[in-house]
Structure 1
Amino acid sequence: MHPVEIFELVLVLLAVVVALHWVARRLRLPPATALLVGGGVLAFVPRLPPFAIDPSLILVLFLPPLLMDGAYFTAFGRFRRHLPGILSLAVGAVVFTTLGVGVVAHWLVPSLPWAACFALGAIVSPPDAVSARAVLQRVKIPRRLSALLEGESLLNDATGLVLFRFAVAATLSGAFDAGAAVSNFVFLALGGIIAGLAVSAMWIFVVRRLGDQTLIIMASTLMCWVAYIVGEAAHVSGVIATVVAGLVLGWYQHVIFPAQVRLRGSAFWETMVFVLEALVFILIGFSLRGVLDRVGGIEAVSNTMAVPVLGVVFTVTVTRFVWVFGVDGLLAALRSMGLKRARPLGLRQATVLSWAGMRGVVTLAVALTLPASMPGRDLMLVTAFAVIFATVVMQGTSLGWLINVVRPVDQDALAKMHLAASEAAIARAMAEAVELHAYAPDGTLIHPRLLEEYRKRSEVTTRYAEDADVFMEGVRAHFDVVLIALAAGRNELIRIHRAGLIEDEVLHELERDLDVEELRIILQRGN
């Protein structure tokens, strides 16, 4: 395709993204499902030019920012607390699924070499960070379950990619060294951690010296790609390097970023991630036609590949249930023997965790990197697409329904302070700081109104902390009137600007002040 045609196609896809998101909202479907199906339908529109995706470009363009986004917003305390469970899923479940799919694939297609069967297992084994985020952000689940799923989706890609590389090498060379595979995986993981920490240290050094808000936002945005590329260039895990950099960024942004950078950067980052996330799903569906053309069309797939493809899709789903419930049963047995640190999930949470195994961009990109000489390449490509479609459409669409039916219970103990108590503590600290600076050295009160305001705020938040529900009933009515007043002020501002009484610069400055005040009121008012 001509570069101009590619650009025009991207614009069309962005317009389709908006339309499909609107449709998904109206039909109450996960947007990922609508985008995936919509992209698949779009791929067969007559006279639409074929579109080939470079798998290397897919990984380096889409994966780093989406991994960084997940790591940035990960609750680090829960991530660290549940790290054993996360590693059980990110490493153990991926390896178990790879082995299970390999055995079933060889049973269904005996002519396919064992190593090639395990390569297929490695392609479809890691649940996807993008798919998990697209579904999880629209459902409410217990905090432990959320930590496990988010942490798994951040780390399991590294496991799947390593397994895939070794399986492909074993298929083409005919040799496999299990000891070398394990040691290489450890090297890649530790190297990725070191690379991520090194990039993070460089980011902290640079950001503290930039000074300009736009440059800080740009440097922080580039960090995801820098971490990934540095990791890959150093022949370690770029995925782990990016995740580590994202965790560090999320931890330090509270003390490094000024307030305006956080507000502006969050708005920019949210929009960018939305576009990338949406394009990933629609491009997966959009590339379906090329894969079908390569393997001989739908008829060839249904005649020669239907049974092994369905077998692999079934195995991918079942192996996750077996692993999750097996590990949970082991934890229950250990706890019954007196090991208090062993905390099983229980039937409800284990069921939801088992069903939340959507595949996506990594499965597609890895499948498309298969060498042309790889035995069973066509079968692997079709199977990868089938697993993506089945898990995103079937599991992604029904996960919310399953959560409502199962109703998993949050077993994690709450933190010692809740939101209202935290606000009261902050208000007291602010009032104490103002009181220290409200008086001149000779004891004269020089900021009486400021002192009164912060004392009043501290008293109000203390009452709010004592009984938040009762307190907010009256406060919301108060804030509603404030919002009405802000709307009246905004209308008057627009009127005097339209009448030519003020310059555009005055309009923008006053509008910004009203916007900040409105945002503050909306956040304080709550739902």
Structure 2
Amino acid sequence: MQLLLIIIGAGIAVSAIARKRNVEPGMIIVVLAAAASFIPAVPRLELDSEFILAVVVPPLLYSATRGASFAAFGANLRAIITLGVLLVLLTAGLLGLVASWLLPTIGAAAFVLGSVLAPPDTITTVSHGDEIGLPKRVTSILTGESLVNDATALTLFSIAIGVVGGEHASWQHGALELLRNAVVGIGIGALFALMTLWIRKRLGNPTLETALVLLVPFTAFLVAEEAGASGILAVVTAAFSISINLTLDPRHQYPGAYRTRLQERSFWPVLDFVLETFVFAYIGLQLRFVFEDLAGSREPGLVRTLVAAGVLLVVAIGFRLVAVYLLFGRWTLRNHLIKRRSERDESFRNAYEQARQRRNRGGGEPLDPPTQKETLLVGWIGMRGILTLAAAGAIPKDVAGRDAILAIALLVTLGTLLTQGTTIGWLTRRLRFDLSGERAEEEGLREQGRRIVAGASAEPATDPDASFEAQRLALGRAVMERRLTEEIAREMIEDIDLRQAARHTAHPAGA
């Protein structure tokens, strides 16, 4: 307990310094914790293998999903599925094969390592997208990818752990298992969202409502996992449904909800910080002990493990870059071939235009493939993070090569943070994205949002709370009608919530 308090206290100080210097705090915490592990007086922390995945990952994922845009997710679905499913499968397979060649003594556990290293953690980078200067398209793709690839990687991780434990598995079995896990997980998440929305408006107390929502990621994850489904997709589905409905859907608005929204906006970042600090520090503090275990074993041994970590780091970074170019390039080539055929074949052009209209997103044109600059940036942003460290820590202690996998996961995570994490800002500046159009469009939407709010405020209302509610409902309708984006509407609803809270503070009931 004392060590845990020291970790969190040190994390606060480290994060304060790191953010002032625009450096990722998690990277510094891992490095410092790894260095601290070599202090003789530091004990080895031992946690149950299921603790990190069941207690740490669900709330972090729920919090990340709360701020995501469902419309942007849908608009970029093709790119997101390409990266979050196909690329994760390819990466896990390739890294597993390379690991089995470098560390033959760990056997099938090489593919456990492949699934652990496969998913990049891009949410942290995206959260600083405005500061870095990331284009909105890149931000949307990376956010969606991070939500989907966690589910894919953890499903692979579970299958690989089962194979190591002696279960029979085939490619067909793995594909069917992945599909079943996804469908059942989404269904369970939707069910939890419906129950939460029904119960929440009947509690009438911000503390109880926040406590209820806090239970959702844990219970949805555990129920889905017990059902043999994807706990990650259950959490993502529940978070999307609850967040969008409570903020934007008029059918789920209720008096006093603004107090709960304001409380949650303060609560979730604090929980994120504590959990992220704990995971980064916990894995870093394992380094000396893992190295000692490896040095004392004949196979795979410390030197061979370090070499494997270096090779896998290079392969992970290089393969993502190449694969993103090939996958997005195939999309570009397909569009080019369709365009050329459309110029020659009028009947094909008419059929294709009809298909485009059916697939359009709220009346707008379907999105084209990412540009070359966007592709390069997406390919480079592939740092490993919380999920890689958490999954490595969750490997059962009786799995062959567990110490080697822990060490490699930590070193590859550190390597990607140091090489990619520290150069994203530089690369973004070198690519010189013109964001003036995006910013002008956002400002235009804000102006439109202000007009919508002003129009709702002008309607006569005897109760001031009714006026605030009318403003929120007007914004929600504007989003449903595609006249406003979710991001702008949420930004303006937060301002309305603050104004309503300020009014009640200045004029309390009964005063």
TM over 0.5: yes
Give RMSD over aligned pairs. Answer: 3.0
- Give the aligned partner of residue 207 of structure 2: 214
Matched, 1:34 2:33: no
Three-state SS of the structure 2 residue aligned to 1:173 is coil
Matches within 5 A, 1:67-466: 67-110=61-104, 113=107, 115-128=108-121, 131-132=124-125, 136=129, 138-173=131-166, 175-254=168-247, 255-256=252-253, 258-296=257-295, 303-338=303-338, 341=366, 343-409=368-434, 414=441, 418-431=445-458, 433-434=459-460
Tell me the alpha carbon deviations over residues 231-263 of structure 1, each in whole angstroms, 9 at most, x when there is no partner. 112221110000000101110121436222211
Q: Are the structure 2 counterparts of residues 208 and 289 from structure 1 closer, same or farther at C-alpha, using a change threshold of 3 Å?
A: same
State the TM-score, normalized to the length of structure 1. Answer: 0.76
Q: How many residues align?
A: 437
Does the Cα contact within 8 Å between 1:52 and 1:290 map onto a contact in 2?
no
Q: 1:130 to 1:301 in 2, by over 3 A?
A: farther
The change in CA–CA distance for 1:214 and 1:135 in structure 2 (over 3 A counts) is same
Note the residue ranges of structure 1 that are not aligned, 5 or more in a row. Answer: 1-5, 439-446, 452-508, 515-527
The CA deviation string for residues 279-316 of structure 1, in whole angstroms up to 9 with x for no partner, is 22222212223322322279996533232221111111
Asked whether the equivalents of residues 135 and 396 of structure 1 are also in contact (C-alpha less than 8 Å), the reply is no
Q: Structure 1 residue 266: deviation in Å?
A: 1.2
Higher-RCO chain (CA-CA 8 Å, sequence separation at least 6): 2
The SS at the match of 2:83 is: helix
Q: Which residue of 2 is the match for residue 468 of structure 1?
A: none
Q: Confirm or deny: 8 A CA contact 1:33 1:397 kept in the other structure.
A: no
Contact 2:291 2:302 in 1 (8 A): no
Moved more, 85-94 or 125-134: 125-134
The 3 A distance-change label for structure 1 pair 277 and 140 is: farther
Assess, with a 3 A threshold, how the Cα gap between structure 1 residues 263 and 406 changes in structure 2: closer, same or farther: same
> Following the alignment from structure 1 to structure 2, what is the Cα–Cα distance between the partners of residues 56 and 372?
11
- Kept in 1, the 8 Å contact 2:88–2:118? The answer is yes
Cα contact 1:86–1:148 (8 A) shared by 2: yes
Match of 2:13 in 1: 19
Provide the C-alpha distance between the structure 2 equivalents of 1:64 and 1:133, rounded to a whole number of angstroms.
19
Which shows bigger deviation, 187-196 or 410-419? 410-419
* Cα distance change, pair 342–204 in 1 and its aligned pair in 2 (3 A): closer
Distance 1:107 1:306 in 2: 14
Distance (whole Å) between structure 2 residues aligned to residue 217 and residue 369 of structure 1:
28
SS in 2 for 1:128: coil
* 1:72 Cα deviation from its structure 2 partner: 0.7
Q: CA deviation at 1:224?
A: 1.5
Decide whether the 8 Å contact of 2:53 with 2:394 is kept in 1.
Answer: no
Instruction: Tell me by how many angstroms 1:207 deviates.
Output: 0.5
Mapped partners of 1:108, 1:12: distance in 2? 38
Aligned equivalents of 1:381, 1:198: Cα separation in 2:
36
- With normalisation by structure 2, the TM-score equals 0.78
CA contact (8 A) 1:349 1:409 kept: no
Mapped to 2, the partners of 1:267 and 1:371 lie a distance apart of 36
Change (3 A) 1:129 1:510: same
* Structure 2 counterpart of 1:469: none
Whole-angstrom distance in 2 between the partners of 1:404 and 1:127? 22
Deviations 1:398-438 (A, max 9, x none): 2122211223456989579510121022102211x12x769
Contact 2:75–2:367 (CA<8 Å) still a contact in 1? no
Per-residue CA deviations over 1:159-212 (Å, capped at 9, x if unaligned) read 112222323333453843111111111110000000000100110111121112
Assess, with a 3 A threshold, how the Cα gap between structure 1 residues 298 and 33 changes in structure 2: closer, same or farther.
farther
Distance 1:190 1:106 in 2: 32
Task: Encode CA deviations 1:55-91: one digit per residue, 9 max, x unaligned.
Answer: 3111111111111111110011101111121111111
Amino acid at match of 1:395: Q
Cα separation, 1, equivalents of 2:112 and 2:305: 17
Gaps of 5+ in 2: 340-355, 357-365, 468-501
In structure 2, C-alpha distance between the alignment counterparts of 1:402 and 1:180, rounded to whole Å: 41
Distance (whole Å) between structure 1 residues aligned to residue 276 and residue 93 of structure 2: 30
User: Which region of structure 1 is more displaced relative to structure 2, 299-308 or 348-357?
Assistant: 299-308
Q: Does 1:46 align with 2:40?
A: yes
Amino acid corresponding to residue 369 of structure 2 in structure 1? P
Name the SS for the 1:200 alignment partner.
helix
Superposition deviation, residue 97 in structure 1: 0.5
Distance 1:131 1:26 in 2: 16
Letter in 2 for 1:69: S
Instruction: Give the equivalent residue in structure 2 for 1:492.
Output: none
Match of 1:467 in 2: none
Note if contact 2:7-2:277 (Cα within 8 Å) is conserved in structure 1.
Answer: no
Partner-residue secondary structure (3-state), 2:42: coil
Counterpart-to-counterpart distance in 2, 1:510 and 1:119: 55
Larger CA Rg, structure 1 vs 2: 1
Deviation at 1:24, TM superposition (A): 1.2
Mark the CA change 1:135 to 1:101 in structure 2 (over 3 Å): closer, same or farther: farther
SS at match of 1:338: helix
Q: Distance in 2 between matches of 1:124 and 1:137?
A: 27
Alpha carbons 1:64, 1:239 under 8 Å: kept = yes
- CA distance in 1: counterparts of 2:504 and 2:158, whole angstroms: 55
1:46, 1:138 → 2: CA distance? 40
Once residues 362 and 270 of structure 1 are traced to their aligned partners in structure 2, the CA distance between those partners, rounded to angstroms, is 18
How far apart in 2 are the matches of 1:31 and 1:38?
11
Give SS of 1:305's match.
helix
Q: 2:190·2:238 contact (CA, 8 Å) conserved in 1? A: yes
Deviation at 1:375, TM superposition (A): 4.0
Aligned partner of 1:315: which letter?
A: V
- Judging changes above 3 Å, is the alpha-carbon distance between structure 1 residues 39 and 385 closer, same or farther for their aligned structure 2 residues? same
